[in-house]
Amino acid sequence: MKLVILDRDGVINYDSDNFIKTPEEWIPIPGSLEAIARLKREGYSIVIATNQSGIARGLLTTDMLHRIHSKMLQALRNKGGDIDAIFFCPHGPGDGCRCRKPRPGMFEDITQRMKINLSNVLAVGDSERDVVAARDVMARPVLVKTGKGAKTLKTSTQLEGVPVFKDLASFTDSLLRGELVVS
């Protein structure tokens, strides 16, 4: 199975320090939906792995998160794309859960539920925690400069060997041109 794991906020849609709390606040980054559609047409499965601590903080409910994801999925389908699965952590930073990135629990859940080894699977994120979580399961982290990516690029000490792209569209271009070898 050809698989790409994507963080959501800052990779697919604009991020907000105030959290994405409603479907109206979910706004795709230009080119991101088309990039996902291109990956799907080329036979890739697409999985989202996203921290959603706004739920633990009482800023949105799980039902509202599903409404946000419904908007995202409809927008993707309108562009010819789709998502195979969405995994999310509803916990806050202090909850001590195993699923909140940078811990690897969400990625381990993907491994179990999709019955796939994540070794060398590309995992695209915009933060150090995305990189660390991917590495913990032997996935290949990729950083995009959208969202928190530009700041991460300046401050992280965890980026050695991590390919960096302007955005999800430029990552997709590189992958589909064969510049990122997936084993």
**Which CATH number covers residue 24?**
3.40.50.1000
Structure tokens of 168?
């999800």
Q: Please report the pLDDT score of residue 180 as a whole number.
A: 81
Question: For the chain, what is the domain count?
Answer: 1
Catalytic residues: 7, 9
pLDDT tens, residue by residue, 123-178: 999 999 999 999 999 999 999 999 999 999 999 999 999 999 999 999 999 999 99
Is 163 domain-assigned? yes
Is 182 domain-assigned? no
Helices (H), ranges, the chain: 32-41, 62-78, 105-114, 128-136, 149-155, 168-176
**Section 72-82 average pLDDT:** 97
Q: Which residue has the tokens 């980026």?
A: 159
Is the pLDDT score of 183 beyond 60?
A: no
Is 181 domain-assigned? no
Q: Write down how long the chain is.
A: 183
Range of the domain at 144: 3-176
Is 48 domain-assigned? yes
> Residue 182 — pLDDT band, cuts 50, 70, 90?
low
Is 169 domain-assigned? yes
Q: Please report the pLDDT score of residue 181 as a whole number.
A: 66
> Across all residues in the chain, what is the average pLDDT?
96
pTM of the prediction?
0.96
Is 54 domain-assigned? yes
Could you give the CA distance from residue 33 to residue 102 in angstroms, rounded to a whole number? 25
Is 115 domain-assigned? yes
Q: What are phi and psi of 42, to 5 degrees?
A: -90, 10
pLDDT tens, residue by residue, 34-53: 999 999 999 999 999 999 99
> Residue 1 — pLDDT band, cuts 50, 70, 90?
confident
Is 43 domain-assigned? yes
DSSP per residue, 24-70: GG--BPTTHHHHHHHHHHTT-EEEEEEE-TTTTTTSS-HHHHHHHHH
Q: Please report the pLDDT score of residue 125 as a whole number.
A: 98
**Section 73-79 average pLDDT:** 98
Give the percent of the chain with pLDDT over 70: 98
